[in-house]
Chain A
Amino acid sequence: MSSSKLLWASSLSIGIDRDGSYYPAVDGIDFYIGKGEILGLVGESGCGKSMTALAITGLLPDGVAIKKGSVLFEGENLIGMPEKEMARLRGRAISMVFQEPMSSLNPLMKIGKQVSEAVRLHDPKPKREAERLAEAVLGKVGLQNPKVLMQCYPHQLSGGMQQRVMIAMAIISNPKLMIADEPTTALDVTMQAQILDLLKSINQEYGMAMLFISHDLGVVSRFCDRMAVMYAGKIVEEGTVSNIFKHPVHEYTRGLLESIPRADSRGKTLASVKGRVPNIFEKRMPCAFAPRCQKVQDRCLKCDPPNIALSQNHTARCILAENESEINYASI
């Protein structure tokens, strides 16, 4: 089993030390991504999804640090890896695509140079060869006239084209894992669908595993194999997409599911989870979701919720899940 795991994070905690106190942004999470698998990391903003992604690649912003835990990538711990080694891994073995393609591209560098640089950083090819490869990959991600595009500056491209360029840079060195942090959030709906199709085809063609971060459960349901729902720095529910969608256990997951717009709900007001995510400087209840939970009980305010395995491919961190054992997913 473990040999099929590409990335394996265990009890990963990330936080901020300020004025002598420690504030957790990510609080002891465990998850894994199998080879060639797409894992969706879901939750509202401020739940710690992006911090998790940045921690994996060692790109946490100043002041935010990994408190404890490990992230094994092909058996090698990424936490505490020297900057130089980490840099060698980034782009070559693990690549990233970010939310805002416009600001994520260097405004003063031609597209061609930005893409071919992604190769040349790891593979000292001659410039010409890297450029030829860059051109080919730009075509691969569905961009017309790659030759012309190579000479363009980012501001001359549309948002969708810019995101394709970002994806081209992320796949050009054929990494084993791509981390995509809300890659379609800044795009309009049609463009969103096209980019998702592109990512899916990359996943299938190259067998590239993906960590797909999104706040949109609808997108995750169509795109991911497995998913982990994060709330206030903890993973509250985790499992295969089909298991969770058939039988969501955690109240937070249920709330998120109800807020997905569906064809049959057109015209009706969308349900949404009332309240807001506590910011990381606020004090939390043992179950951080308790203040927003409709089924909150006295116990929830007193002791930490246990992580309960509902099946081989489904766990939930909720006291109420104790009553949910032995689910027969097939019957639902």
Chain B
Amino acid sequence: MKKVAIYAARRLATAAFTVLLVSLLIFIAFNLVPGDPVRLILGTEASEERVAALRALLGLDKSLPMQYLGWISGMLHGDFGTSIKYQRPVAELIGQRVPVTVTLAAFSLVLAFAFAIPLGILSARKKGSISDKAISFGSMLSISIPGFCLGIFVIWLFGLKLRLFMPGGYVSYRTNIPGYLNYMLFPAIVMALPNAAVALNYLRSSILEELKRNYVKTALSKGHTLKGALYKHVLKNAFVPLISLVGMMAASAFGGSIIIEQVFGIPGIGALLIGAITSRDFPMAQSMAACISVIVVGSNSAADIAIQIIDPRIKLYK
């Protein structure tokens, strides 16, 4: 257990370093804007006083390193800056929308595994059969469809044809939770499919790999049938490498939600970010980008640490 703690500390330190590096990159990117950001925001005809006022408000009158430090230390204290567009603290705006995006991402992860696990087991058990080939074709198809394409198809099929939900008629969780979940189900399916395909292929090859191991022979020699050995011995081992995938899947779910929220008209973090970018609300866009990368890096590290806890034989000295 002590070893795990050391590993976790180390892994978190790397994660913190990555986040710092990413925040620096984001900062540089946003400050490489050709031209004066204040002028870009206010337009060329704005008065000098307004320009100076906004400059001070954004902290742009300080040197770049000071600006960066100010931004970082503010973020650490929960001050994410102020949105130009909404004239409200960014932290508050993000806070309002976090539940929506988190539900969507979590929902899609659950669905992804709900598709991937049974189908992965099936295609590994029936390797080379028609159903294996069909599953493999389906997963190829679902990683070849961009999220927004699939989203539009789902809107047409389930929204317009089958009338299982009202496209564009987002229901807030504050007013109607069943209605909210019903609406979120469809974007979650869209986000889940590519992840499910990746997880399925991973699980299939992981099971096939584990089936070759000696302990399977032992399980059979004890009197298990192949099916029994698969469920009682192989699956748990085959799931272990899948855990590291969860981190990546969570990251891709968050990335995917940016677009899918737009397709389905869901007021989540992604929609807020795109709004910030199209209205050139840089302070908000910058802080949001940093927040999203913290979430992504965090979920990746959490997955890595989880593996260490679950798999007792893993080497900890790397």
Interface positions of A (Cβ within 8 A of B): 57, 59, 83-84, 87-92, 95-96, 98, 100, 103-109, 117-118, 121-122, 153-155, 166, 169-170, 173
Contacts and interface: CB of A to CB of B under 8 A. Distances in A.
B4 to A, nearest CB: 14
Interface string B117-130: 00000000000000
B217 A117 contact: no
Given A153-B313, A155-B312, A155-B313, A104 B226 contact: no
B223 A106 contact: no
A106 B217 CA distance: 10
Nearest to A152: B312
B307 to A, nearest CB: 12
Interface string B220-235: 1111111010001100
A224 to B, nearest CB: 21
Contacts of A122: 223
Contact of A121 (B213, B217, B224, B237): B224
A118 B223 CA distance: 7
B1 to A, nearest CB: 13
A249 B312 CA distance: 52
A106 B311 contact: no
Of the four ranges (under 10, 10 to 19, 20 to 34, 35 or more), the interface on chain B belongs to: 20 to 34
Nearest to B240: A108
A108 B236 contact: yes
A103 B312 CA distance: 15
A166 B218 CA distance: 9
B218 A87 contact: no
Contacts of A154: 313
A59 B212 CA distance: 12
A103 B215 contact: yes
B278 interface: no
A57 B221 CA distance: 7
B222 A106 contact: no
B219 interface: yes
A37 B237 CA distance: 38
B205 to A, nearest CB: 16
A42 to B, nearest CB: 22
Given A107-B312, A121-B222, A121-B223, 4 more contacts: A92-B223, A98-B221, A108-B313, A121-B224
A96 B299 CA distance: 44
Interface of B: 213-215, 217-226, 228, 232-233, 236-237, 240, 311-313
B313 A90 contact: no
Contact of A108 (B220, B224, B312): B312
A95 B221 contact: yes
A91 B237 CA distance: 22
* Best-surrounded residue of B225, B236, B237 (most CB of chain A within 10 A): B225
Contacts of B217: 59, 96, 98, 104
B233 A109 contact: yes
B223 A107 contact: no
Contacts of A104: 214-215, 217-218
Given A59-B221, A90-B220, A155-B312, A103 B214 contact: yes
B222 A91 contact: yes
A140 B11 CA distance: 44
B150 to A, nearest CB: 36
A88 B223 contact: yes
A83 B230 CA distance: 15
A170 B219 CA distance: 11
Nearest to A99: B214
Contacts of A87: 220, 223-225, 228
Contact of A169 (B220, B222, B232, B312): B222
Contacts of A91: 221-223
Contacts of B223: 87-92, 118, 121-122, 173
B8 to A, nearest CB: 20
A91 B220 CA distance: 8
A90 to B, nearest CB: 5
A142 B96 CA distance: 64
Given A87-B225, A104-B214, A105-B215, A59 B233 contact: no
